[in-house]
Amino acid sequence: MSQVNLEIGRILIVDDNPNNLKVLSGVLRSTGWEILVATDGEGAIEQAEYSQPDIMLLDVMMPGMDGFETCQRLKTQRGIADIPVIFMTSLSDTVDKVKGFSVGAVDYITKPFEQEEVVARVRAHLKIRNLTKQVQVQNEQLQTLTQTLEQRVVTRTSELSNALSELQQAQAQLLQREAKLEYDAFHDSLTGLPNRAWLMNQLQYLTRLTSHNEDFHYAVLFADLDHFKVVNDSLGHLAGDQLLKGVAQRLQVLFTQKATVARFGGDEFVILVEDIEGVKEAIGLAVYIQEQLKLPFKLDTHEVFVGVSVGITLSSRDYAHPEDALRDADAALYQAKKQGRGCYALFNPAIRNLAITRMQLEGDLRKAVANLERPIAPPEFCLHYQPIVSLATGRIAGFEALLRWSHASGQTIPPNQFISIAEETGLINPLGSWVLREACQQMHQWHQQFASNPGWTINVNVSPIQLRQANLAQQIADTLEETGLATHHLKLELTESCLLETNGFEAATLEQLEVLGIKLCIDDFGTGYSSLSRLHDLPIATLKIDYSFVSRIDSERDSIEVIQAIVALAQSLGMDTVAEGIEILTQQAKLGDMGCEFGQGYLFSRPLSSLVATQLLCQEVQALCLGTGR
* Interacting positions 536-555 with ligand C2E (CB under 6 A): 547
**What does the DSSP 8-state code read for residue 187?**
B
Stretch that binds ligand C2E, among 247-255, 443-451, 578-586, 589-597 (CB under 6 A): 578-586
Considering the complex, state which of residue 55 and residue 521 has its C-beta at the smaller distance from ligand C2E: 521
Q: Which is nearer to Mg ion, 461 or 509 (CB)?
A: 461
Distance of closest approach, residue 280 Cβ to ligand C2E, in angstroms? 38
Q: Are 513 and 520 in contact (CB under 8 A)?
A: yes
Q: Residue 158: enclosing H or E segment and its boundaries?
A: helix 115-186
- What is d(CA 580, CA 241) in angstroms, rounded to the nearest whole number? 41
Residue 591: burial class (beta carbons within 10 Å; 0-12, 13-18, 19+): buried
**Cβ 461 to Mg ion, closest distance in Å?**
5
* Secondary structure class of 89 (helix, strand, coil): strand
Q: Does 368 engage in binding with ligand C2E (CB under 6 A)?
A: no
The C-alpha angle 471, 472, 478, rounded to 5 degrees, equals 90
> What's the Rg (C-alpha) of the chain?
57
User: Which one, 493 or 620, has the nearer CB to Mg ion?
Assistant: 493
Stretch that binds ligand C2E, among 53-61, 272-280, 306-314, 598-606 (CB under 6 A): 598-606
Contact positions with ligand C2E (CB under 6 A) in 422-451: 432, 435
From the list Mg ion, ligand C2E, none, partner contacted by residue 535 (C-beta under 5 to 8 A by kind): none
Minimum distance of Mg ion from residue 528's CB (angstroms): 11
Candidate residues 93, 323, 514, 583; the one interacting with ligand C2E per rule CB under 6 A: 583
Rank residues 305 and 602 by Cβ distance to ligand C2E and give the closer one: 602
* Contact present, 394 and 370 (Cβ < 8 Å): no
User: What residue 438 binds from ligand C2E, Mg ion, none (CB within 5 to 8 A, per partner kind)?
Assistant: none
CA distance 459 to 549: 21
Closer to Mg ion by CB, 96 or 524: give it: 524
- Helix 41-51 and helix 67-76, axial crossing angle in degrees, nearest 10: 30
Footprint of Mg ion on this chain (CB under 5 A)? Answer: 461, 493, 523-524, 580
Per-position b or e across 435-449, b if 16+ CB within 10 A of its CB = bbbbbbbbbbebbee
**Binding track, positions 381-400, relative to ligand C2E; x by CB under 6 A:** -----x--------------
Residue 460 bridge partners (DSSP): 401, 492
Q: What are phi and psi of 375, to 5 degrees?
A: -60, 120
Taking the least distance from each CB to Mg ion, the nearer of 502 and 600 is 600
Q: How near is the Cβ of 544 to Mg ion at its closest, in Å?
A: 5
Q: Is the peptide bond before 112 cis (omega within 30 degrees of 0)?
A: yes
Per rule CB under 6 A, count of chain residues that contact ligand C2E: 23
Nearer to ligand C2E, 242 or 495 (CB): 495
Helix axes of 115-186 and 18-30: crossing angle, nearest 10 degrees: 60
- Start-end of H helices in 305-414: 322-338, 349-373
Q: For ligand C2E, give the closer residue by CB, 39 or 406.
A: 406
Q: How far is the CB of 472 from Mg ion (least distance, A)?
A: 17
Minimum Å gap between C-beta 624 and ligand C2E is 23
Would you tell me which residues interact with ligand C2E (CB under 6 A)?
386, 402-403, 414-416, 419, 432, 435, 461, 463, 493, 523-524, 547, 580-583, 600-602, 607
